[in-house]
Structure 1
Amino acid sequence: MKFKDQIDFVGQHIKKNKLRVFMTVLAATMGTAFLIVLASVGFGIHDTIRNEILSNRLVTEIQVYSGEMNTEQANELKEREHVKAVVFRQNLGIMQRTTLGKYTGNQELIVTDFTEEKKVNFELQEGRLPRNATEVVVGSHFKDSLMDQEVENEEGEFETYKGKLIGEQFTIQIGDDSGELFEDEIPLTIVGIGKKPAKEWEMDQKIYADAAIIPVIEKVYYAHVEKPIDEHPDAQQLFYGNVNVYADKLENVKAVSTALKDDGFSVYSISDELEQLDVFFLALKAGLIFVGTIAILISSIGIFNTMTMAVTERTREIGVMKAIGANPKLIQRLFLMESAWIGILGTVLAVVISYAVSILSNYILPIIVTAALGEEDLGNMDVTFSVIPWQLVVIASTISIGVAMISGWRPARKATKIDVINALRQEL
């Protein structure tokens, strides 16, 4: 019997029992759809949390912690293999005050290397980067932290600075550990404004200056404070630094991070966090797929019953086929094809239904949750409740069709063992 004839043979028998086959396909569809939709929740939560971690952060960033970090050590890190950039930011660790006209604030001064910052996309919303010791870039919320301490609004809050920033000159004063500010004022000019952080709740009020400003600050500070000849544990630290190393590729983050750990540095990279997250969600998704598989196994009972009844109803036909010389393997193949057809059709319908449910849930559930929480949004968090990757479709399809084939194997095997004489005696 040709393959086309085998397909026609299977099709004819399916048409004879449309209702029974339909209910069996429906059961297979529901079981497979349940597996896909259930597991898609795990993929959706994983995707949401992963994107939240990665947002507004460079995935190639490795934070290096060392109490004795200096410019020389930072430059040595640049020579390491797979290192794209090394950003050494030094924070001014003493009391400081900013003054712009009648407005004052306590913004933090950070000294950095803008050449390295540019390599890792230090972006501005306006202006340019500094070119000398007296030029600085300020954070996007710099003006919000400049206040007139003598003027209050109707809410009892101090008036904040509303003017332009680019080209404006302001001064900073520094002080000693007693909290007293020195009279000396260091004039600085704003030439750029940093890009706003991706998250609305993050505030950037910092002042970013070039390393050329360090001698200027040291000159003012040590004009009032005796410079220690030897390092003393009680001596106030003028600058303290932190280093961020950036790998050239995400694949090399782990190698660079491991090399730094081997050299005694304390490091942290987002890859460590993602690795732990991925392991957790791998176990969660495997558990959800396992639970969903139970639904498919339940639907397999329907396939088994349908195929068993099909064999019983076609006993005479099987006897005729055997009498004219049909191979038992052919008979077995015909029934396996029928069970496979049920599994394939159920899987296709389940995939279509699952994608529809996923799209609807991602549209409707945020609205419901937002209304329940009484907020305008979910804390500016882009939540995805359901994600169906192609890998999940392949896994679910393999399980569904595999279970259908296994369910039909026993009845198909039974069909090959029917006695020809008894089968021919069977009443139509």
Structure 2
Amino acid sequence: MLFKDQVDFVMQHIKKNKLRVFMTVLAATMGCAFLIVLASIGFGLQASMEEEILSSESVTKIEVRGGDAQFSAEEIAEIEAVENVQTVLKTTSMDAAVQSFFEDRDTFTALRLTDFSDYATIAEPLSEGTYPKSENEIVVGYHFGQTLLNEADRKLIEEKSKEAEAEGTYYDGKEEGYKGSLIGKEIELALSTNEHPDKLSERMTYTIVGVMPKPAYEWAIENNIFMMDEQREALENVYKQVVDNSETADFQLFYERFDIYAKSLEYVKPILEELRGKGYSEYSVTEQLDDLNVFFLVLKAGLVFVGTIAVLIASIGIFNTMTMAVTERTREIGVLKAIGASPKLIQRLFLMESIFIGVIGTVIAIVISYLVSFASNLLLPIVLEAATGEENFGNIQFSAIPWQLVVIAATISIGVAMISGLRPARKATKIEVMQALRQEL
């Protein structure tokens, strides 16, 4: 029998039992679609988290800290000598309370000292202004103006916070603060100890020449002040005004950190291993992504396993359908054997029917799954924003269906369909010719 004749034979019997075959295909479709949609949640959340991490961090960046607060000259030279490094950026933070004053407004912030010539080569473009060119010029964080408050602002924030708390929400104070441009404005800085924030040093005047880019995280408030590394000695002298000599004897005011930027992503792990072997404390977002991938691999495997159970339940319908098909066609099987059909041919005919059910169900399930995925990503953020009052759900991808998931689901669904039809197909090959021909129509 030619393959075309075999297909015609199968289709002829499927048409005779349209309703039964339709219900079986529907069960297979529901099982496969459930598997894909369920597993797509893991893929979608993983894609969202990876995108959020990578949008806020450079994948080639490695943070290095030493055993002490500051690096020795030998350690600095050793870090800078690491191969395949594009830029080594030193950032110094100050362990002191910093209060900024502008007109009738003030805010508490943190100081960062850096080499802007290196910083400009690896950082995102400033949202406004330029980098400092002289020691009395500074760059402020994106939300610095928002955190500059006067007494009227503080009262408004307190009132709005109470109203939001009564409604079960939270007010972030973004409507208050200084709203004008800070470029070219002079501010005054005063230092104090963390233990005695009210005891301020003399004020130092700086000019704002730039504003940092907006943080990738919506919840992040960036109001740090960045200034040239050459200001370190001046800051130390001013800080000594507010502490006793006994307090500064063993006190470490500055803490250094090196950010190493590899030439490309492929060099990140070799650099990490080299630094780790030399005893440095290091961190890279790639390690966070590795841990994230392991977690989501386990999660996706669990979701696929649960979805496979639904496919197995649907296979019961395929098994019943094929068993009934063999019973109803006993006489036809006898005729086929009588005219010389081999057991393999008979088995193949019934397997083709079960595979047909699996393939049709899988194709329809894939189409439905993509529609459900699209609708979920479109509608769920709207529903959650309406329910919670938050506006951050639009950045979350709730469902994603990569081609790998489609291949896995199709393989499981069609494979289960084939296995479900195997036993009835084998049963068909064991029917005796004479017994089948004696069966009454």
Instruction: Please name the residue that 2:168 is paired with.
Output: none
Instruction: Please name the residue that 1:209 is paired with.
Output: 227
* Residues 142-190 of structure 1: CA deviation (Å, up to 9, x unaligned): 2334455xx646936799545532223344345689775454x544332
One-letter identity of the residue aligned with 1:165: L
Unaligned stretches of 5+ residues in structure 2:
159-175
Q: Work out which of the residue numbers 388, 395, 398 in structure 2 matches 1:382.
A: 395
- Partners in 2 of 1:268 and 1:222 — Cα distance? 33
Alignment of 1:362-373 (within 5 A): 362-373=377-388
* Residues 266-305 of structure 1: CA deviation (Å, up to 9, x unaligned): 2222223222222222222212211211121122122112
One-letter identity of the residue aligned with 2:185: E
SS of 2:133 mapped into structure 1 = coil
- Partners in 1 of 2:91 and 2:124 — Cα distance? 13
CA shift for structure 1 position 321: 2.0
* Residues 331-376 of structure 1: CA deviation (Å, up to 9, x unaligned): 2111111111011001111111112222222233333333333x14
CA shift for structure 1 position 330: 1.6
Unaligned stretches of 5+ residues in structure 1:
none
* Residues 377-397 of structure 1: CA deviation (Å, up to 9, x unaligned): 2x4662232222211111111
- Partners in 1 of 2:411 and 2:121 — Cα distance? 46
Query: Are residue 243 (structure 1) and residue 244 (structure 2) matched?
Result: no
Query: Are residue 141 (structure 1) and residue 119 (structure 2) matched?
Result: no
Instruction: Please name the residue that 1:86 is paired with.
Output: 88
Q: Work out which of the residue numbers 345, 359, 364 in structure 2 matches 1:344.
A: 359
In structure 2, relative to structure 1, the CA distance for the partners of 1:160 and 1:355 (3 Å cut) is closer
Instruction: Please name the residue that 1:252 is paired with.
Output: 267
Alignment of 1:23-422 (within 5 A): 23-66=23-66, 67-70=68-71, 72=73, 73-74=75-76, 76-94=78-96, 96-100=98-102, 103-147=105-149, 152=152, 155=155, 161-174=178-191, 180-183=199-202, 186-217=204-235, 234-373=249-388, 375-377=389-391, 379=392, 382-422=395-435
SS of 2:87 mapped into structure 1 = strand
In structure 2, relative to structure 1, the CA distance for the partners of 1:94 and 1:387 (3 Å cut) is closer
CA shift for structure 1 position 239: 2.2
SS of 2:341 mapped into structure 1 = coil
One-letter identity of the residue aligned with 2:364: L
SS of 2:59 mapped into structure 1 = coil
Is the 8 Å Cα contact of residues 165 and 190 (structure 1) preserved in structure 2? yes
TM-score, normalised to structure 1, is 0.86
- RMSD of aligned residue pairs (Cα, Å): 3.1
CA shift for structure 1 position 224: 9.9
CA shift for structure 1 position 68: 4.0
Is the 8 Å Cα contact of residues 69 and 254 (structure 2) preserved in structure 1? no
Is the 8 Å Cα contact of residues 78 and 84 (structure 1) preserved in structure 2? no
CA shift for structure 1 position 101: 5.1
- Partners in 2 of 1:173 and 1:382 — Cα distance? 39
One-letter identity of the residue aligned with 1:206: N
- Partners in 2 of 1:424 and 1:59 — Cα distance? 73
Number of equivalenced pairs: 420
One-letter identity of the residue aligned with 2:357: I
Of stretches 402-411 and 100-109 in structure 1, the one that deviates more from structure 2 is 100-109
- Partners in 1 of 2:393 and 2:332 — Cα distance? 66
- Partners in 2 of 1:61 and 1:202 — Cα distance? 20
